[in-house]
Amino acid sequence: MFSRKAVAFIFAAVCLTTARVQDGNDASLPEYYILRGGIKSVSDLDRLTPPLINAFAAPDGAMRGLAFDGQYLWAANSGDDNSIFGPKIYRLDPDSGTVITAYNGIVDHPCGLAWDGQYLWHSTYIGGTIYQLDTFGLTIVKTFIAPTTHPFDLAWDGNHLYAVRGNEPYISVIDTSTGVEIDSIEATYTSPNVRPFGLAFLGRNAPQLLTCDGNYGSNLVNAWNFYTSSWVDQWAGEPTIYPSGLAYDSVTERLWVSCYDRDSIYVYDVSQVGIDEADIEYVHGVQLDARPNPFSKTTRIRFMIHDPRYMIEEANQNISGSEGRISNHQCPEIGIYDAKGGLVKSLYHESWIVNRESVFSWDGTDMYGEQLAPGIYFLKLQHVAGSVKLVKLK
């Protein structure tokens, strides 16, 4: 067993680390991490854990949500008992953690943050309110009541806002034009303490939503796979013990993780973890999805056949390799079904090209050209198990 002084020394070394990794090796990074109450060396960590490339002290205790706007890192502080300066929203240097600007909290208990490319979205832990903020002076643009009384953290996918339902194993999908919850994701991943806290959307070719467990029971980071509508168990967010916020930079593939318990912010290189499009095994060799989803007017449906069992006819004598054309009498039919399983529209294509993506649009109409009612529909390939859930908005 390590003495209290030894643990405190290791804790201090981790929290004060500020140097970036050079050539994958930096002596200033901690040699040991505290792992679920025990201490293990770096070599003992799970191989899926991404490299820790930076760490710096947070501006105060009780750090919560994070967001990255392409230039600055935003951090919320709830002003809880271990906070010195009270409820704040900080604009930080993303590399050093230096405070650029400190704003008083809009109300008590600032918690979640997300950046939508123009505005900063912010949620409060007490009161269940979500704010859209202009970062010039942090003025309120819009506000609405969250679908939960404790929206811990937020994420933005380019169309919709995601909010953790505090103290519940669910993540809400919110239409920000109305503030209404239009869908939800149940947290069914493997964890000793399924309690989502931080959120971050990774807009890769294989889009995914990352969440981290908090409240001391777990420090796992897990990913929601939008292609399969399922969770993928990911990695332990060492050395964090109580991860409470996530922020992602799509350019450098950095992921910031705030640690409520250690008053620190850690930075990981996540370029080699998560769900890669090349790793997705499509059902029966077929890729089928739709974006945006949910949608209001039009959604783009992507379809690709990878299955060599389909009979391939050469489009012309010059085609080489595995690429070929499937005539329409051999093409699998794509159907859109309502929640009761009734076919509302069939989507046809003159021909499909094997190993080449086909993209077409659906405007929310039925087979007679009439607009369908808002609700849940399913995109399904004929004779193939599985489907893609579509949410049509007003």
Give per-residue pLDDT as tens, 82-91: 889 989 999 9
Band the pLDDT of 131: cuts 50, 70, 90.
very high
Q: Residue ranges of the alpha helices (H) in 138-263? A: none
Which range of residues forms the domain containing residue 333? 281-392
143 and 227, same structural domain? yes
pLDDT tens, position by position, 24-61: 322 233 332 223 333 233 333 334 678 899 999 999 98
| Nearest by Cα to 160 from 123, 121, 212 | 121
How many domains is the chain partitioned into structurally? 2
pLDDT of residue 96: 96
200 and 341, same structural domain? no
The answer to whether residue 317 scores a pLDDT higher than 80 is no
pLDDT of residue 205: 56
357 and 370, same structural domain? yes
CATH classification at residue 296: 2.60.40.1930
Which residues lie across from 52 on neighbouring strands? 268
CA separation for the pair 348, 228 (Å, rounded): 23
Instruction: Give Dmax (Cα) for the chain.
Output: 76
Q: Which of 232, 250, 277 is the last residue of a domain?
A: 277
224 and 118, same structural domain? yes
233 and 124, same structural domain? yes
The answer to whether residue 363 scores a pLDDT higher than 70 is yes
The answer to whether residue 66 scores a pLDDT higher than 80 is yes
152 and 292, same structural domain? no
Residues of the chain with pLDDT > 70, as a percent, come to 70
pLDDT of residue 273: 75
Order of all β-strands in the sheet with 180-186: 151-156, 161-165, 170-175, 180-186
Report yes or no on whether pTM surpasses 0.75.
no
Helix, strand, coil tally for the chain in percent (to 5): 5, 45, 50
The answer to whether residue 303 scores a pLDDT higher than 80 is no
pLDDT of residue 179: 92
Q: Which of 237, 254, 277 is the last residue of a domain?
A: 277
pLDDT tens, position by position, 171-204: 999 999 999 998 899 998 877 777 888 999 987 6
pLDDT of residue 97: 96
Cβ atoms of 65 and 54 within 8 Å: the answer is no
pLDDT of residue 199: 95
Radius of gyration of the CA atoms of the chain, in A: 23
pLDDT of residue 150: 86
pLDDT of residue 285: 57
pLDDT of residue 307: 52
Find tokens 């990981």 and name the residue: 268
* 99-106, long-range: CB < 8 A, 24+ apart: 99/59, 100/72, 102/59, 103/138, 105/76, 105/77, 105/79, 106/131, 106/133, 106/138, 106/140
Q: Which of 254, 277, 300 is the last residue of a domain?
A: 277
17 and 153, same structural domain? yes
